A and B are shown apart, each in its own frame.
Chain A
């Protein structure tokens, strides 16, 4: 079992990458910052399972929360509305230092 890089409460950023092939990280969260809500467990990698590969080793999957107002310019709802996405560890990096 791989060590998990993040834990609940950690602020993370979704890597702002374009990656060819089958990817389960939606475009609208790439480059965005959120917070790890929970660790969902470890699962085989869909990106290689999609091509008939066993998808090993399993890797941690995180439930990451985002503030809607961070995702959408002019979000038409209250500031505390949130969105949760299940994201694989290799798509996450520590958030940049919080600006004062």
Chain B
């Protein structure tokens, strides 16, 4: 069944033409995702499917690259390349070292 990502023809508002500065983490998200593709560890199709599988509220709330990060994490865990726990742990360490809550 069509999901929330299947947007063609949905109601929509005026196009916001503003452009946000691409942040370093977004460049990183883009690069890591594509490198994993190039190494044959995942496919574009899996990446799309992973995004589409996000709960609708999440799909709608996350930004473009936030969805990429969520999808890449989902696939890395699904394929047993990393575990969610170790990603959690490392993210926690990074938060502490950056002095974030």
Say whether A associates with B: yes
Quick one: which of A1-31 are within 8 Å of B by CB? 18-23, 26-28
Q: Which residues of B does A touch, CB under 8 Å? A: 1-2, 6, 8-9, 43, 45-46, 48-49, 52, 79
Chain A residue nearest in CB terms to B42: A52
Number of A-B contacts (CB under 8 A): 37
* Cross-chain contact of B2 among A27, A51, A52, A55 (Cβ < 8 A): A27
B62 to chain A, nearest CB (A): 19
Interface residues on A, range: 10 to 19
* Proximity bits, A62-82, B CB within 8 Å = 1, else 0: 000000000110000000000
Separation of A36 and B7 alpha carbons in the complex (Å): 23
Q: Is A26 a contact of B52 with CB atoms below 8 Å?
A: no
Separation of A90 and B6 alpha carbons in the complex (Å): 19
A67 to chain B, nearest CB (A): 15
For B1, what are the chain A residues with a Cβ–Cβ distance below 8 Å? 18-20
Q: Is A49 an interface residue (CB 8 A)?
A: yes
